[in-house]
Structure 1
Amino acid sequence: MQPRSTVRVHPQPGVELLPTRGRRVVVGMRGNPILRITVPSRLLRRWLLGLALLAVLASAVAVTLETLTHPDDGIIHRATQFAGFWLDVNNERNLPAWYSTVLLAVVALVASDVARVERSFRLSPWWSWAFLSATFLYLSLDELIQMHEGSSIVSALLLPLVIVFALATAPLLWKLPRRIAYQVAAAGVIFVGGSAGMEFIGQLPAGSNQVLVHLEEAAEMIGVAIILAAIAQYREVLDERLLARSPAGDIRLLPG
């Protein structure tokens, strides 16, 4: 006998949410189920923070080994150069750069999904989520093709852009549950501190450059990890709110 799960049908025509363990089934207007894989936000946060720390640690080890070896070491030096190229967080078009690009794009995608749902059910401020999604999409493209590199215009407009971003996302923070709002705010501070704050630190000795780079990249990755997990947590809350708004009679059982 097949197990069954409770389905609550939302008043919005053609929308059903089937809560199950680790997944949700959304049934469209024609009754076609759409499987959406979900990951618990706590588990997602733990994995993303672990990956960020692992990426920075691997980069630090690879760069250190490359520095300690000499061209006369032959194959050992070539191996450290290979590892340094693919693992150095300060390089372009390597594993950490691609990881950051994908992670930023995922944040944009999840924020866009929240904006779509909030707009569909006339919740606010959906436009703030749309702005957040567009911002992270730009950051993802920037990470991919390095649009800001060598651009004095971006550096000059950095502070005004941060202010505009803060003002545009303020309504979002105000409407979020306090715990999630604090996570988003903390992620923003960490990310901006990594990507922008380091730019205003005075010139450090040459030996400190790699330390500064790794601190900057670690802050950016950790900030993105926290905000992605926070948005995922809010998506869970949003689903529960939509289910709670459904009429009590609109409940039926489907195979789980």
Structure 2
Amino acid sequence: MNIIIEPKKILGLLLVFILLLQITNIVGLLFYFNDNNIGWLFNLFNIRTEGNIPAYYSSMTILIASFLLGFISLFRNKNGLSYSLWQILAVIFFYLSIDEAVQLHERVGVIVDNNLNLEGYLSWGWVIPYGILFVLFSLVYYFKFLPQLPKKIAWLFILSGAIFVLGAIGVEMIAANNYNSDNFSEIVNAICYSIEEFLEMLGIALFIYSLLLYIKEEIVITLKETT
């Protein structure tokens, strides 16, 4: 049985989708800021809006990453290899896909905001619990998980994670500071969330590429050797 996986082609396809989504988002924003009456275009392709094409794309790609992690976990378990950290990652990404679809982090933010008087860059409170969990998660995986990976895959994991978090938390904090400022700018807000979502999508695309590369180089070769 020939198993063909082309990580570079799939990465290229994902990058094309990301580019198209960014272009349609920008076009919609240009019409919006010029007071043109085509709200349907803005709502359908605006990267910040829930329940539209970019939101479905983001949720589905994160879910794909979860499924790939689950597949790797099952393979390693079946072959007597350590798999628990892969399994945990699969569950985390499954949660993130749901979060992306229904904005669970914003509901967490409301709870934090109701209990803390936050301002400026931390005025969207969800970044605090998510940020703490990310740091703890990173420490565990940096010392226990990444050393088990081939160096190329490990660096791809680090790069994709850094890009994703830079958008999800870093740019989000800049947007929060602008949104709650006396000098709030709707244009700056649009630029921030466009960059934020672009980085998140790019990070997930690179992560999927790294998972497919791992499957191709570590699993498919093993399967061929045993058949």
TM-score of the pair, normalised by structure 1? 0.74
Shift of 1:240: 4.0
RMSD: 1.8
Q: How many residues align?
A: 204
SS at match of 2:2: strand
Q: Please point out which of 165, 186, 189 is paired with 2:159.
A: 186
Contact 1:110 1:231 (8 Å CA) reproduced: yes
Structure number with greater Rg is 1
Counterpart check, 1:242 vs 2:222: yes
Give the counterpart letter for 1:217 in structure 2.
Answer: E
* Distance in 2 (alpha carbons) for counterparts of 1:94 and 1:242: 40
CA offsets 1:130-184 (integer angstroms, 9 cap, x no match): 1111111001011111111143343331222112221343333212211121111
CA distance in 2 between partners of 1:240 and 1:225 (Å): 21
The answer to which structure has the higher strand fraction is 1
Which of 20, 35, 40 aligns to 1:54? It is 20
- Partner of 2:129 in structure 1? 157
- Are the counterparts in 2 of residues 132 and 169 from structure 1 also a CA contact under 8 Å? no
Per the TM alignment, residue 241 of structure 1 is displaced from its structure 2 partner at its CA by 4.3
**Match of residue 13 from structure 1:** none
Identity %: 24
Instruction: State the match for 2:94 in structure 1.
Output: 137
Partner deviation per Cα, 1:32-73 (whole Å, 9 max, x = no partner): xxxxxxx40010111112211221121011111122134xxx
Return the structure number with greater helix share: 2
Within the alignment, does 1:85 sit opposite 2:43 as a pair? Answer: yes
Q: Which has the higher contact order (CA 8 A, sep 6+)?
A: 1
Q: Equivalent residue for 1:109?
A: 67
- Judging changes above 3 Å, is the alpha-carbon distance between structure 1 residues 121 and 155 closer, same or farther for their aligned structure 2 residues? same
Please tell me whether residue 176 in structure 1 is matched to residue 149 in structure 2.
yes
Please list, as runs of the form range in 1=range in 2, the aligned pairs for 1:175-254 lying within 5 A after superposition.
Answer: 175-201=148-174, 203-204=177-178, 205-206=184-185, 207-243=187-223, 246=226
Distance verdict in 2 for CA 1:243–1:109, change over 3 Å: closer
2: distance between equivalents of 1:130 and 1:43? 26
User: Structure 1: any 5+ residue segments left out of the alignment?
Assistant: 1-17, 23-38, 71-76, 252-256
Q: What is the alpha-carbon distance in structure 2 between the residues aligned to residue 186 and residue 160 of structure 1? A: 19
Contact 1:180 1:230 in 2 (8 A): yes
| Residues in 1 aligned to 2:69 and 2:220: alpha-carbon distance in whole angstroms | 17
Task: Give the Å deviation of 1:94.
Answer: 0.4
Q: C-alpha displacement at 1:91, in angstroms?
A: 0.3
Instruction: Please tell me whether residue 167 in structure 1 is matched to residue 133 in structure 2.
Output: no
With 156-165 and 41-50 compared, the bigger mean Cα shift is at: 156-165
